Chain A
Amino acid sequence: MIDTVARAVATPDQPQPYAELGLNDEEYARIRAILGRRPTSAELAIYSVMWSEHCSYKSSRRHLKQFGDKAPASDALLVGMGENAGVVDVGGGYAVTFKIESHNHPSYVEPHQGAATGVGGIVRDILAMGARPVAVMDALRFGAADAPDTSRVLPGVVEGISAYGNCLGLPNIGGEVAFDPTYAGNPLVNALCVGVMRHEDIQRAAAPGPGNKVVLFGGPTGPDGIGGASVLASATFDDTSAAKRPSVQVGDPFMEKLLIECCMELYAAGLVVGVQDLGAAGVSCATTELAAAGTGGMRVVLDDVPLRDHRLTPEEILMSESQERMMAVVAPGDVDAFLAVCARWDVPATVLGDVDDGGRLVMTWRGETVVDIPPRTAADEGPLYDRPYARPADLDAIRADDPAALARPSGGAALRAEVLRVLADPSIADKSWVTAQYDRYVLGDTVLAMPDDAGVLRIGGGPRGVALATDGNGRYTRLDPYDGARLALAEAYRNVAAAGARPLAVTNCLNFGSPEDPGVMWQFERAVTGLADGCQALGVPVTGGNVSFYNQTGETPIHPTPVIGVLGVLDDVARRTAIGFTGDGDELWLLGTTRDELGGSAWASVVHGHLGGRPPAVDLDAERALAEVLIAAASGGLLTAAHDLSDGGLAVALAESCLRGGHGCRVGLADPFTGLFSESAARAVVAVAPADAAAFAGLCRTNGVPAARVGAVGGDALTVDGAFDIPLEELRAAHTGALPALFG
């Protein structure tokens, strides 16, 4: 029997499975108060998904407000937070939109499809802004590299990203792969997409204009990701419709590729008034958000939704997370032209209803009204919680466990062995096993890609370009969430500057445990505050992002892991700086101040399995000054290579630059151990041709950046005077052998 509005009015006391759908007693009572009756099961489906943590940000919104309140003044921001993705002016009439989003839980359940649809989802967010998607990146974190389950999760995730992204024709230009036992039951799969458009092409997710048509286009709707809806079906319907449903969506990258080309043609022809992608919460989300942001009302005939499985109920249609779907608002006179473009690209498209100004979202099924709600109450006026938070009880003990007590190598041979050990650690080691499965060339505008510090793309045919980097460090954030978030921001900012680009804007993916745990909520509040303060200090606004809570196994949360993406711009992309050492005789300069800072470091973790003390000190003025030097030196053509210093310190940076460029180097360090392994922030190593050294040193002085000539490029070994030398072949074997040995 269909649960119509009339029936809901007639049967006010019928029990409803709201708790199984994740709504608490107060939330259910609030829905009844809004509607003045019990919700129909279709309405309950809509509210349950729209008021979920994932869609409503009910635990995080109060804190995320800081990103707006503390946003630095920026002329570059064309569209801020709240839309599908922020939009940044990169000059010359071009705008860039970018965003990072998590797909953690699905990627644990079904690694291939979970990761693939993570790419698909973020690409549609970018597409919905009016931009052509031009590249993707992935920040991945797994359990211990040698844990049996990691050999299930990692290859599946990488294959999913590879299969979906490659088939979509988007270059994969960077990201991260890291391992830590904290992520064993909770891998982090954070996917970033960047898109480019002209300023005038920005699209909005709104449904204005009574009489305009609502069109659903893309793949058909099937029973994907509707585990929750089966609860409704079994409660309201006979059991036959409550068949086992997959809880993870299945991707069709070919359809998404067609959607991209189809949307580009629709936008160019001016056939779209408003557009929204269908992601989590599918039709529920698209209809309520478009209506809420538009004239306020919409009428939809649910029977007209094209189905892959004709047995789907209205509740299942509303909750389905089938991929590769978009919803557009189209002027009545443009509908035929709109459908013709879709037909040319073999994209199914169906008119589902109309925009009106009645202030209600009304849906019918088999001629009867099954939904009649004020759309804003689902889209914008969800619950808001101020969850209690408290400093975790174990934090003082962890911070007191200072790495100064750890045994340090005595003598050159022991130091040499530890350098090789750190280089071969799976989190530090060469990631070609992963990145060789991604197409980095397609679209023909990739100027730099992993393992360089940032992905760099030419845009608009050049000379302009953009650079992107993502960074996060769960160990630092565990020790100090406020500084950990600022360090992640500073590292991404530094990476973009090391590539020669001026940082402009920030996106973030905040991966945390359960918000119902006061200790986790404290970590979250501290990290958000740190990120907002850091963005203010560095003058780069947050343009959007995503929160992923409930990343925990049983009672044990993951290390708090904010992953920060920074976008920068280059006036002339040919002036970008790569990490590889290329010229024998080039001078090596170390920029910044090196202190004895090993709390949360790769060395402490790899050599001693230690996590304690404090993370490196944060000095954002020093980061800004360093960035100025790196950007000015790049645009002045003074650098032959630059590499930021982060995990594993100078030891790892030198090794990577040597291996990337195929040239050795010789350095002299006053204290080789601290010099090689300290992770002091605001540092980089650069290579400078001798003829440019004086100009470069002057630039550092002008900007107040400490700079020391520590050695030179040359030879076929990494040599540290008075300590050791490691032939490049041995270095390469250690660095490149780790992942193939683990994953085949």
Chain B
Amino acid sequence: MTAPAARIGIVTFPGSLDDRDAARAVSLAGAEPVSLWHADRDLRGVDAVILPGGFSYGDYLRCGAIARFSPVMSELVPAARAGLPVLGICNGFQVLCESHLLPGALTRNASLHFVCRDQRLRIEQPATAWTNGYTPGQEVVIPLKSGEGRYVADAETLAGLESRGGVVARYVGGAPNGAANDIAGISNEAGNVVGLMPHPEHAADPLTGPTTDGLAFFTSVLALSTATA
């Protein structure tokens, strides 16, 4: 008997840009993408949620600072604390930090310029909902495109992240944005909430991406939902 495809919700905030791309990657991974609207207090019973890249509400204030107050987040935050897998990509990572589902913050790149490049990353932590398809230390190439991608946190938080294996991915060859400890992505302690600055959804289709290295983020969560079903 074939199990019904996992349903993965993708939130659209005003100013979300990579929402269709995340949906495409979810489809490529074999799951069903479900659109979630920022103004609805409704997660539509999805098995996991992606907060996509973009400039929510224009990001004229701190990135993600307004999005965290949107109605959909009032549903998402308790669900994530209860174990729902959530992946925040770029602006989504910023929203997760602003929502305190993840520690630290993302600030202006050290160069003060937006940076778009094919970025080499090392997967440091495969024991999360979104990275279990990778091997420890695996190197991947995934597009990075952000102006405020410099991860910062106080020394205690950084030490805590490092000691509990909370760093999910690190920039190889130095952080192009000045991120602390070359951090590209982190998870919460339970491993169900992951924030990632680079865009795995843009490394899922060989025709348009530099690689297909990003696809495993989306298949990882399926493996998890199958295993726990």
Q: Number of A residues whose C-beta is below 8 Å from B? A: 32
Residues of B within 8 A of A439 (CB): 114, 116, 145
Stretch binding the partner chain, chosen from B1-9, B13-21, B71-79, B133-141: B13-21
Stretch binding the partner chain, chosen from B51-59, B166-174, B184-192, B216-224: B51-59
Residues of A within 8 A of B60 (CB): 254
Within 8 Å by CB of A442, from B15, B57, B145, lies B145
Chain A nearest CB, measured from B57 CB (Å): 7
**Contact indicator B14/A444 (Cβ below 8 Å):** no
Chain A nearest CB, measured from B58 CB (Å): 3
- Bound Cα distance A73, B201 (Å): 43
Residues of B within 8 A of A254 (CB): 14-15, 55, 57-60
The answer to whether B82 has its CB under 8 Å from any CB of chain A is no
**Contact indicator A444/B20 (Cβ below 8 Å):** yes
Residues of A within 8 A of B205 (CB): 444
**Contact indicator A437/B208 (Cβ below 8 Å):** no
Instruction: Mark contacts of A138-182 with chain B using CB atoms, 8 A cut-off: 1 yes-contact digit, 0 otherwise.
Output: 000000000000000000000100110011110000000000000
**Contact indicator A442/B18 (Cβ below 8 Å):** yes
Q: A166-B147, A254-B58, A345-B14 are in contact. Are A440 and B207 (CB under 8 A)?
A: no
- Bound Cα distance A159, B111 (Å): 12
Residues of B within 8 A of A441 (CB): 21, 116, 143, 145, 199, 202, 208-209
**Contact indicator B58/A253 (Cβ below 8 Å):** yes
Residues of A within 8 A of B143 (CB): 441
The listed residue with most A CB atoms (<10 A of its CB), out of B53, B113, B207, is B207
- Bound Cα distance A685, B166 (Å): 50
* Residue ID in chain B nearest A344 by CB atoms: B39
Instruction: Mark contacts of A624-657 with chain B using CB atoms, 8 A cut-off: 1 yes-contact digit, 0 otherwise.
Output: 0000000000000000000000000000000000
* Residue ID in chain A nearest B22 by CB atoms: A444
* Residue ID in chain A nearest B24 by CB atoms: A444
Instruction: Mark contacts of A403-445 with chain B using CB atoms, 8 A cut-off: 1 yes-contact digit, 0 otherwise.
Output: 0000000000000000000000000000000011111111111
* Residue ID in chain A nearest B37 by CB atoms: A344
Residues of A within 8 A of B207 (CB): 447, 458, 462, 573-574
Instruction: Mark contacts of B81-95 with chain A using CB atoms, 8 A cut-off: 1 yes-contact digit, 0 otherwise.
Output: 000000000000000
**Contact indicator A167/B208 (Cβ below 8 Å):** no
Residues of B within 8 A of A163 (CB): 114, 147
**Contact indicator B21/A442 (Cβ below 8 Å):** yes
- Bound Cα distance A346, B20 (Å): 20
Within 8 Å by CB of A445, from B17, B114, B147, B208, lies B208
The answer to whether B41 has its CB under 8 Å from any CB of chain A is no
Residues of A within 8 A of B18 (CB): 169, 442, 444
The answer to whether B117 has its CB under 8 Å from any CB of chain A is yes
Residues of B within 8 A of A458 (CB): 207-208
**Contact indicator A444/B145 (Cβ below 8 Å):** no
* Residue ID in chain A nearest B202 by CB atoms: A441
Within 8 Å by CB of A437, from B14, B24, B115, lies B115
**Contact indicator A444/B21 (Cβ below 8 Å):** yes
Residues of A within 8 A of B201 (CB): 444
**Contact indicator A436/B115 (Cβ below 8 Å):** yes
Instruction: Mark contacts of B24-64 with chain A using CB atoms, 8 A cut-off: 1 yes-contact digit, 0 otherwise.
Output: 10000000000000000000000000000111011110000
**Contact indicator B55/A444 (Cβ below 8 Å):** no
Q: A439-B145, A441-B145 are in contact. Are A447 and B208 (CB under 8 A)?
A: yes
**Contact indicator A436/B208 (Cβ below 8 Å):** no
Within 8 Å by CB of B208, from A169, A252, A446, lies A446
Q: Which residues of chain A (326-358) have a CB below 8 Å from chain B? A: 345-346
- Bound Cα distance A558, B198 (Å): 42
- Bound Cα distance A444, B86 (Å): 22
Residues of B within 8 A of A446 (CB): 208
Residues of A within 8 A of B59 (CB): 167, 254
Residues of A within 8 A of B24 (CB): 444
* Residue ID in chain A nearest B54 by CB atoms: A169
* Residue ID in chain A nearest B176 by CB atoms: A436
The answer to whether A376 has its CB under 8 Å from any CB of chain B is no
- Bound Cα distance A445, B204 (Å): 12
Q: Which residues of chain A (304-345) have a CB below 8 Å from chain B? A: 345
Residues of B within 8 A of A445 (CB): 208
**Contact indicator B117/A436 (Cβ below 8 Å):** yes
Residues of B within 8 A of A438 (CB): 114, 116
Instruction: Mark contacts of A246-263 with chain B using CB atoms, 8 A cut-off: 1 yes-contact digit, 0 otherwise.
Output: 000000111101100000
Residues of A within 8 A of B115 (CB): 436-437
* Residue ID in chain A nearest B25 by CB atoms: A444
Residues of B within 8 A of A255 (CB): 58
Q: Which residues of chain A (183-203) have a CB below 8 Å from chain B? A: none
Residues of B within 8 A of A159 (CB): 113
Residues of A within 8 A of B54 (CB): 169
**Contact indicator B116/A437 (Cβ below 8 Å):** yes
Chain A nearest CB, measured from B27 CB (Å): 11
- Bound Cα distance A169, B199 (Å): 14
Residues of B within 8 A of A253 (CB): 55, 58
- Bound Cα distance A166, B145 (Å): 9
* Residue ID in chain B nearest A440 by CB atoms: B116
**Contact indicator B55/A258 (Cβ below 8 Å):** no
**Contact indicator B17/A169 (Cβ below 8 Å):** yes
Q: A436-B115, A438-B116, A441-B116 are in contact. Are A258 and B208 (CB under 8 A)?
A: no
- Bound Cα distance A219, B21 (Å): 28
* Residue ID in chain B nearest A253 by CB atoms: B58
Residues of A within 8 A of B145 (CB): 166, 439, 441-442
10 further contact pairs, Cβ within 8 A, besides A169-B17, A444-B21, A444-B24:
A162-B114, A167-B15, A254-B55, A435-B116, A440-B116, A441-B21, A441-B145, A442-B53, A443-B21, A444-B20
Nearest 5 Cβ contacts at the A-B interface: A254-B58, A169-B17, A444-B21, A441-B202, A167-B55
30 inter-chain pairs at a CB distance below 8 angstroms, sorted by A residue, are A162-B113, A163-B114, A168-B17, A169-B17, A253-B58, A254-B14, A254-B57, A254-B59, A255-B58, A257-B14, A257-B17, A257-B58, A258-B14, A345-B14, A436-B113, A436-B114, A436-B117, A437-B116, A438-B114, A439-B116, A441-B202, A441-B208, A442-B18, A442-B53, A443-B20, A444-B20, A444-B205, A445-B208, A447-B208, A458-B207
